[in-house]
Amino acid sequence: MMSEDAGQMLVMYDDPSDQRSLSLDETSSTQESPDEARLSLETTADSVPYIGQRFATHDAAYEFYSEYAKRCGFSIRRHRTEGKDGVGKGLTRRYFVCHRAGNTPVKTLNDSKPQRNRKSSRCGCQAYLRISKVTDLGPAEWRVTGFVNHHNHELLEPNQVRFLPAYRTISDADKNRILMFAKTGISVQQMMRLMELEKCVEPGYLPFTEKDVRNLLQSFRKSDQEDESIDLLRMCRNNKDKDPNFKFEYTLDSNNRLDNIAWSYASSVQSYEIYGDAVVFDTTHRLTVFDMPLGIWVGVNNYGMPCFFGCVLLREENSRSFSWALKAFLVFMNGKAPQTILTDQNMYLKEAIAIEMPSTKHALCIWMIVAKFPSWFNAVLGERYNEWKAEFYRLYNLESIEDFELGWRDMVDFFGLHTNRHIANLFALRTLWALPYLRSHFFAGMTTTGHSKAINSFIQRFLSAQTRLAQFVEQVAVAVDFKDQAAEQQTMQQNLQNICLKTGAPMESHAASVLTPFAFSKLQEQLVLAAHYASFQMDDGFLVRHHTKLEGGRKVYWVPREGIISCSCHQFEFSGILCRHALRVLSTGNCFQIPDRYLPLRWRRISTSPAKLHQSSSSDHMERIQLFQSMVSTLVTESAKSKERLDIATEQVSILLSRIREQPVASQGARDISPIHRNL
């Protein structure tokens, strides 16, 4: 809709004293009579252009018309100049037109050069302002001699007009700030959030967009990028020479320049063997100095901490590049694809996963979607934004697909979002992000807010010190090594905690001796809640419902002789932790230990340090290591029960460790252990 300022000025008028052609296409246009011109002037506010309006310079006229256009819902551009036809006369006339004036010329197709198939916004709009230079009376000045304010298209609302390119500007101060942020290695999204906080504006209300920032950074790329690529390859080859278990793949373009490169470390491959069932492939970041898309594969270990699997740098963000990245990752991991993979909402990546990992369940990271909500919905919903967000989370966590779809429809009606394209897109992709559609697939708890923050914090370590491209491999190695050490410390702290049993049930004490403290705490929550449920045996299983409910409930199927139990809530399939409903049935059936298959290896008390997780061609050797790890876990559990026990254990282990370090490394051990050699 058109603003009130523009509402009175839908007519076209020109200065009758100007004898030149008035329209943009060099055809004559209708002129107003002097009476009509006077009427227009009498009803026009100073903020609206009018015939005879004076400006000291043509730039001043442009700024005035630009501000007027912004209030009305459009932008302008300089269109045509006339003059320079006499010595000393210079420029005598200028036209400023609506940004949608004119039509896009037809481009000549060139088979050898790719064409940009970009839709034009030009629609032949005739709105314009013409100014002419007057030197007859005193100093030279510019006067408005023509003004047309009739548009053949809809004008934008104030919250939309700011996104037009003419009004998306980055000041010199903001440019310096952005370049300073880029040197620290933070992502463009983080830059935007920081600057919003600094300027005290709502998310999405900066005078520029993420795309503008990316374009700015691209213009400041280092000129020696080709040399950087050569150094990066040299660095990877040196790492491979020092450590045969370091893995990297790369491609070159037609000019023999580095196109894509991916790499992984020996410790990462070892971690993936156990924790590679659920993977996050984060492609939302870039090496800002070089504007290269960065992909990072991350998982979660048995202590609930992020673990690094691999890294990739791409020249382009398209299906071909992502397919290559996924193939390289599978080569690193000996052809083993993850059960599930979480990614950003990227259609190119979605296509590549369907081709390269057809048996893997692909889902979208909910935290990456939610991060975009402020820019998508803040301006649209205003004060109702937080209320809408709470309803979104309620729907997201539902169990029933039917309840989700009915609730979504009610939410759209209640908040009036029928025409919102983001809402429509979210619903179209609901099977990829909403939990009711994903509960039968294993995600290792990575869909929770807590894990999302931990993974994001983990990834930021790789981006914290971007200096030279060749050094990035080493920066990642340092970050991974630091995280491994931190994980060992946190693992030790968890194991030293005195576990408190809450139910007294034999199943609880059994699980506490097998699972890591992190996994046990999740199971213990379900054990405590199980006491609030009643179970009823049916012909085809059990019905389990809360003791306060008279209807509904979950169906549990249990085959005691085969040690198989399953629940319609699918919590075990989703998280690897048995639900309260299944635990209630096991308790009712006098089961004193949880069946082994429901205490999965990935949540058990095995060593989480990749540097200590050894693979061996000999199954006997591996079994001995696992037995030893189990003994160590038991030692920690028993020692933590009292100060006296802990003092004795600490003293004796110190003595034992000193003796072990004095022993030479046997040949078999040398083959089994894959040390990581890095240039730090």
Interval 416-458: pLDDT, tens:
999 999 999 999 999 999 999 999 999 998 887 666 677 777 7
Indicate the burial class of 189 (C-beta count within 10 angstroms; 0-12, 13-18, 19 or more).
Answer: middle
As a whole number of angstroms, the distance between CA 93 and CA 83 comes to 6
| The two structure tokens encoding residue 490 | 């946190």
As a whole number of angstroms, the distance between CA 177 and CA 574 comes to 44
- Tell which residue, 126, 121, 289, has the closest CA to residue 220: 289
The rounded radius of gyration (Å) of the Cα atoms in the chain is: 34
pLDDT for the residue 617: 38
Cβ 188 vs Cβ 288: under 8 Å: yes
As a whole number of angstroms, the distance between CA 582 and CA 567 comes to 6
- Tell which residue, 268, 190, 189, has the closest CA to residue 483: 268
As a whole number of angstroms, the distance between CA 629 and CA 622 comes to 11
Helix orientation angle between 373-381 and 385-396, rounded to the nearest 10 degrees = 130
C-alpha dihedral sign at 629, 635, 640, 641: positive
pLDDT for the residue 603: 94
The residues facing 544 across adjacent strands are: 535, 554
- Tell which residue, 60, 223, 202, has the closest CA to residue 129: 60
Cβ 32 vs Cβ 39: under 8 Å: no
As a whole number of angstroms, the distance between CA 304 and CA 517 comes to 10
Task: Find tokens 């009643």 and name the residue.
Answer: 534
As a whole number of angstroms, the distance between CA 27 and CA 424 comes to 46
**Which runs of consecutive H residues, i.e. helices, occur in 294-400?**
319-332, 347-356, 366-370, 373-381, 385-396
Question: Quick one: how far is CA 120 from the chain centroid?
Answer: 29
Classify residue 615 as left (phi > 0), alpha (psi -120 to 50) or beta. Answer: beta
Cβ 301 vs Cβ 487: under 8 Å: yes
Residue 447, φ and ψ in degrees, nearest 5 = -90, 0
As a whole number of angstroms, the distance between CA 439 and CA 433 comes to 11
Q: Please, how many CA atoms are within 13 Å of residue 69, restricted to the half-sphere of its CB?
A: 27
pTM above 0.75, yes or no: no
| The two structure tokens encoding residue 180 | 């300073």
188-to-182, 501, 590 alpha-carbon distances in Å: 8, 47, 57
pLDDT for the residue 98: 92
pLDDT for the residue 83: 66
Question: Which helix (H) or strand (E) covers residue 624, if one does?
Answer: helix 619-639
pLDDT for the residue 206: 86
pLDDT for the residue 85: 47
pLDDT for the residue 626: 59
What amino acid is encoded at 436 in this protein?
Answer: P
The residues facing 511 across adjacent strands are: none
Torsion angle (degrees, nearest 10) of CA 151, 156, 161, 163: -110
pLDDT for the residue 213: 86
| The two structure tokens encoding residue 341 | 């993979």
Largest CA distance in the chain: 108
Indicate the burial class of 42 (C-beta count within 10 angstroms; 0-12, 13-18, 19 or more).
Answer: exposed
Residue 262, φ and ψ in degrees, nearest 5 = -135, 150
pLDDT for the residue 184: 65
- pLDDT means per 10 residues, the chain with 680 residues, are 40 44 39 36 60 89 91 87 56 87 70 56 88 81 91 84 82 85 74 88 84 78 55 78 86 82 89 93 76 86 89 89 95 94 92 95 92 90 94 93 96 94 95 94 84 70 56 65 56 64 89 91 94 91 92 91 90 94 93 91 71 43 62 71 80 79 55 33
The residues facing 247 across adjacent strands are: 264
By DSSP bridging, strand 258-264 and strand 128-134 are unpaired
